Chains A and B, each alone.
Chain A
Amino acid sequence: MWLVITMYTLFIDTHFKDVCLGLYNKNRLIDLIQEKDIKTTSEITMPLLKKLLDRNKIKLENLKKIVVCIGPGSFTGVRVGVTIAKLIAYLLNIPIYTINSLELAAFSDGYNHELYGTLENNGVFIAQIKDKKIVGNIEYYKNSEIPKNVFICSNDDVSQLLTDFDIFKEESPFSVNPLYIKELNINSK
């Protein structure tokens, strides 16, 4: 009898108003949960994760890798996904990989554009992507000031996500943190 070794990877993306959870066996997407326009990411993400693993009858010890989108996007949204991902990676002692929302958008679009944007409540984060990587800085623009020729991605296709592992960055779970871009505007006393 052959022993079948499964290598499941979990993908978590809660960087804006959608929750996207993908389950991959080796590099093949085997199940996906995508909920649109969520108001309370914290309420639904863990129940959806449980649903995803339960309906595929996957035990947590079968998870071998975790991939998380670290934003930029909604501060609270990103924090939910990142906190869940780093806790799972730490507690299961499995490697964690990160991707930012702009490189994710470019990948899912097939790199057909040069300028990519991802949404935030009152504006858009924009970056130039070349050779699968961000060139220069991610900039924030208010909705009224969005430049032309920006491809704004609001619906990432993650089915082929794991076919190109070079787009991810392996990190220690301790150092995985949201990418906020927007600095806090606080007046110190």
Chain B
Amino acid sequence: MKDVFILAIESSCDETSIAIVKNGNEVVGLSTNTQIPVHEKFGGVVPELASRMHTENILYVLDDLLEKTGFNIANINAVAVTCGPGLTGSLLIGIEAAKVISYLFNKPLIAVNHIIGHIYANQLTKALSFPTLALIVSGGHTNLVCMKDNYNFEILGSTLDDAIGEAFDKVARVLGLKYPGGPNVEALAKMGNPTYKLPIPMNNQSLDFSFSGLKSGIVNLVHNEEQRNKEINKADLACSFQNIAVDEVIRKLELAIKKTNIKNLIVAGGVSANGYLRTKIEELALKYSVNLGIPDLKYCTDNAAMIGAAAYYLYLKQDFSDLDLQPRPNKSLN
């Protein structure tokens, strides 16, 4: 079969990213502009600001990609874009740009689910084998999914309240750390010990997650210590939190492996960049002889290469979108 080149655009949150991906697994080029320094001072992503910055940056990112790859955009086979979930105003810019490219060069337009993009980031590192368990851990999602084939998702468990990444961000704010919270909590945790007693999330046999109790536990603890004029050891608290949150994910993952007896596992989403989580998952995979796929760090956070990887299977199925494509901010996995 002839090679398939997909130009992919991702603008669902605070990264403007464009990539060219060959056959769903080889990155020809990737250019990303991150707005993290801009949103940092506000303690989180400001949606209107994010949308303004995508509008300003998108041509620079596209130009940088075409410049450094030397790729003639007329030679792509399709253009793919994240349609959701994400921030409406941010998604919109990528979608309009993708429509223009699709129309000008008469190429099919492919709408990609951002979460499925995170799952297929694995394809850029190691080919998926089915059936596989997929653990999705990000700022907006915490899911355990069973995939029997490409684009076949059976949700085994989800978070009942906060996503794990959300809990990291909240704890970061309580500890006075900068946005994005996850990497900063992890860095601090490395310097501490798990000395604090915190609420352990629901200890049951379901595959659902809950992090709100743990989060509130930390908020209360910090508040109480402040009232007693006792100093918080931030590194110890960060370490205590991270251990409990990650151990909970590992416990559910172990339960899922035992329940399903599936021997393939992939990890997806921004929190999969967490070093402690990666180590724990590797230990678990070793214990159960599970074939583990975990994306390269550069494909764990939001990027367009993963969108190009996920779009490949939609291209093969000819699952194309029209020029009236709109953002779907709350799009679910199915």
Contact = CB atoms under 8 A, between A and B. Distances in A.
Interface of A: 40, 42-47, 49-50, 60, 75-76, 79-80, 82-84, 86-88, 90-92, 173-174, 177-178, 180, 184, 186-189
Contact of A177 (B48, B55, B100, B324): B55
A174 B60 contact: yes
B92 A79 contact: yes
Contacts of B160: none
Contacts of B101: 87, 91
A189 B43 contact: yes
A90 B97 CA distance: 11
Given A76-B92, A186-B42, A188-B41, A82 B55 contact: yes
Nearest to B96: A83
Given A46-B99, A76-B92, A189-B41, A40 B326 contact: yes
B55 A83 contact: yes
Nearest to B41: A188
B326 A79 contact: no
B58 A83 contact: yes
Nearest to A172: B59
Given A60-B104, A173-B59, A184 B48 contact: yes
A75 B60 CA distance: 21
B296 interface: no
Given A46-B100, A90-B59, A80 B92 contact: yes
Contacts of A75: 48, 51, 89
Contacts of A49: 103
B192 to A, nearest CB: 23
A188 to B, nearest CB: 5
30 contacts: A42-B326, A46-B96, A46-B99, A46-B103, A46-B324, A47-B322, A47-B324, A75-B51, A79-B51, A79-B89, A79-B92, A79-B96, A80-B92, A82-B55, A83-B97, A83-B100, A84-B96, A87-B101, A91-B73, A91-B101, A174-B59, A174-B63, A177-B55, A180-B52, A184-B46, A184-B49, A186-B42, A187-B42, A188-B41, A189-B42
Nearest to B106: A60
Contact of B323 (A40, A47, A79, A173): A47
Contacts of A187: 42
Nearest to A185: B48
Contact of B46 (A45, A177, A180, A186): A186
A46 B326 CA distance: 11
A149 B199 CA distance: 65
Contacts of B60: 174
B267 to A, nearest CB: 31
Nearest to A90: B59
B93 interface: yes
Given A79-B89, A178-B55, A184-B49, A91 B104 contact: yes
